[in-house]
Amino acid sequence: MRMRTIGFALIICSWSMTSGVAAAAERGFYVGGDYGLTKTEPDIAPLDSLAAAIYGSYGFSVVASSSTLDTEDSTYSIIGGYRLFRHLAFEGSYMNLGKYKYDERATVEDDQGVVDLSQQLTMTSTGLMVSALGILPLSYRTELFVRGGIVFTSNEIKGSISDDTQRVGTGSDTASDTDWLVGVGVGMTFAEIYTVRLEYQKLLEVGNSAFADEADIDMAKLGVVVTF
């Protein structure tokens, strides 16, 4: 809910800062970067099933368990783009999409008895994004933009299991996917070539169902681009 509120606030904020319609941004190539916060929205049930399967691969059966998710992290992007027209630009970027963690504590048993164990799964995503921006100049220095594009993601899951004395890795797996991205933001231009952006983005169904459930990622970002 917090991430969606940021998205709506961008639109309200941009209109409140406008007076008249003109465009200060120059057409041409630009580069930049951004940094922000992410919140991933996974379903915990497939992760519970995966954790139980990992215990089973070690010869354990689960007697009782409890699990939690840590779904908030940071994100950053390295951006390159070209503003073709006043109302249209195209961008490509490398995106670190952050990670989320699954933690579980379980009582398990095998033929030697009952033992308490804990397990952690970490899902990390990066991607290459290609998108188009529809731009609406609102004043000489302020503009509103919407984004639509695709992200070619690389998604990795790593696991570990521990008792009271040691933790050992349970392996990792990597899978690629192609996902949709949408966004809305506001930009303010300074000294003719520097544009500060505040943007809300949503990446849809990131991940790979082969090893974990696909999940949406909400991102709130602050960035700067420089036009050549």
Please give the model's pTM, rounded to 2 decimal places.
0.80
Q: Are 123 and 103 in contact (CB under 8 A)?
A: no
pLDDT per residue as tens digits for the range 93-144: 999 999 999 999 999 998 888 999 999 999 999 999 999 999 999 988 999 9
Q: Identify the weakest region by mean pLDDT among 13-22, 41-50, 78-87.
A: 13-22
Question: How much is the pLDDT for 173?
Answer: 86
pLDDT per residue as tens digits for the range 71-88: 999 999 999 999 999 999
Confidence check: pLDDT of 27 > 90: no
CA atoms 100, 105, 109, 113: torsion sign: positive
Q: How far is CA 118 from the centre of its chain?
A: 27
Q: Are 58 and 5 in contact (CB under 8 A)?
A: no
Distance CA 32, CA 19 (A): 27
Q: Are 71 and 218 in contact (CB under 8 A)?
A: no
Query: Strands, DSSP E only, in the chain?
Result: 28-41, 61-70, 72-85, 88-110, 113-137, 142-162, 167-190, 194-206, 215-227
Return the CATH architecture of domain 2-227: Beta Barrel (2.40)
Give me the mean pLDDT over the 15-27 stretch. Answer: 48
Structural tokens at position 170: 């349970």
The CA angle 139-8-18, to the nearest 5 degrees, is: 15
Distance CA 210, CA 204 (A): 17
Domain spans in the chain, listed from the N-terminal domain onward: 2-227
The CA angle 221-227-228, to the nearest 5 degrees, is: 150
Residue type, 169: G
In this structure, how many other beta carbons lie within 10 angstroms of the beta carbon of residue 64?
9
- List the end-to-end C-alpha distance of the chain, in Å, as a whole number: 38
